[in-house]
Copies of this chain bind each other. A is one copy, B any other.
Amino acid sequence: MRATLIHAARDIRVEDVPDPAVQRPTDALVRVTAACVCGSDLWPYRGVTDTSEPHRIGHEFVGVVEDVGADVSTLSVGDFVIAPFALSDGTCAHCRNGVQTSCVHSAWWGGEDEEGLPIDGGQGEAVRVPMADGTLVAVPGLGDGPDDALLAGLLTLSDVMGTGHHAAAAAGVGNGSTVVVVGDGAVGQCAVIAARRLGADRIIAMSRHADRQALARDFGATDIVEARGADGVAAVQELLGGLGADAALECVGTKESMEQAIDATRPGGRVGYVGVPAGGSELPIRRLFSNNVSVGGGVAPVRGYIPELLEDVLSGAIDPGRVFDLVLPLEEAPEAYAAMDERRSIKTMLRP
């Protein structure tokens, strides 16, 4: 089959790889309907993290179950499934606590399972899914499969919608909250959706790009702030009557974005962060301490959020699929990376 590999910074290739198959009784084989490129895929693409040898890439996909191992009990051949960006067994204490990303058997797409078998990346034609019962969520009632709009929405449940929701949940967003969202990428956009869904009154999106500002407004942002740093914080406070926000959702991962989030939070407020922390971003404890600003979040356990978010995607209550502004065939994966790297696309879908 065909699948995407990263060879080095800015060197993405679609190549022939071995066809996957069920190898263990707990495996499923999934034919990929759609995959996509994640902001975190851009870290190795840009050379921020090292790529020592060519490897499979991609961790967001949806598709149709083509085969299941003998011990798989929640999935059947023909099911349309959502794959979260991390694998989990669904039974350990951490999974039961809703922190599936800390599963004692956690594994990652494009990596290896516990016994050293390779796990396919998501940006390919098919994927062997270990721990299929724990990892995958079947979408009921789709018949011949979702239409394009619904497909896009379902694909966001693989990562960005659940990740944006995690930021909002970790920051305690609820009815009447004032919220500032740092980051206008796909995760930031989904954080706006999540904040609105959880009842926020005021949602300030920090963005400098007209198209992203417009999308954020469509998703529920009540205000836009273009300024950054101290000026951006001052603009947020001016909108909120001199106070910081109840909740700041940090969806970037740089030292600057985290400081902006912390400074834009009112005393006693909470920062929810889901941006993978880049270098030099230890948290300034004295500033947090003196203002009683708490910080929560991390690598989002999206597996646990899929059921509740799926309901709202299926009903049309939320439409996160709109973050996809470019759809390319799998063979054009290199262009998908370039488009996201150059900010020509917020989020790019790949269709095998």
Interface residue ranges, A against B (CB under 8 Å): 93-94, 97-99, 101-102, 170, 241-243, 258, 266-268, 270, 273, 276-277, 281-286, 288-299, 301
Contact = CB atoms under 8 A, between A and B. Distances in A.
Nearest to A270: B296
Given A277-B286, A277-B289, A283-B282, A268 B299 contact: no
A289 B93 CA distance: 19
A152 B299 CA distance: 45
Contacts of A258: 285
Contact of A97 (B241, B267, B281, B293): B267
A255 to B, nearest CB: 9
Contact of A292 (B284, B289, B291, B298): B298
B243 A292 contact: no
A242 B104 CA distance: 11
A97 B283 contact: no
Contact of A102 (B102, B282, B292): B292
Counted per complex, copies of this chain come to 2
Given A102-B267, A284-B282, A291 B295 contact: no
Given A268-B97, A268-B99, A284-B282, A289 B298 contact: yes
**What are the nearest 4 A-B pairs in CB distance?**
A294-B296, A102-B267, A99-B268, A292-B298
Nearest to A276: B289
A286 to B, nearest CB: 6
29 contacts: A93-B243, A94-B243, A94-B266, A97-B266, A98-B268, A99-B267, A99-B268, A99-B292, A101-B292, A102-B267, A170-B292, A170-B294, A268-B301, A276-B289, A277-B285, A281-B285, A282-B282, A283-B288, A290-B298, A290-B299, A292-B296, A292-B297, A292-B298, A293-B298, A294-B294, A294-B295, A294-B297, A295-B295, A296-B296
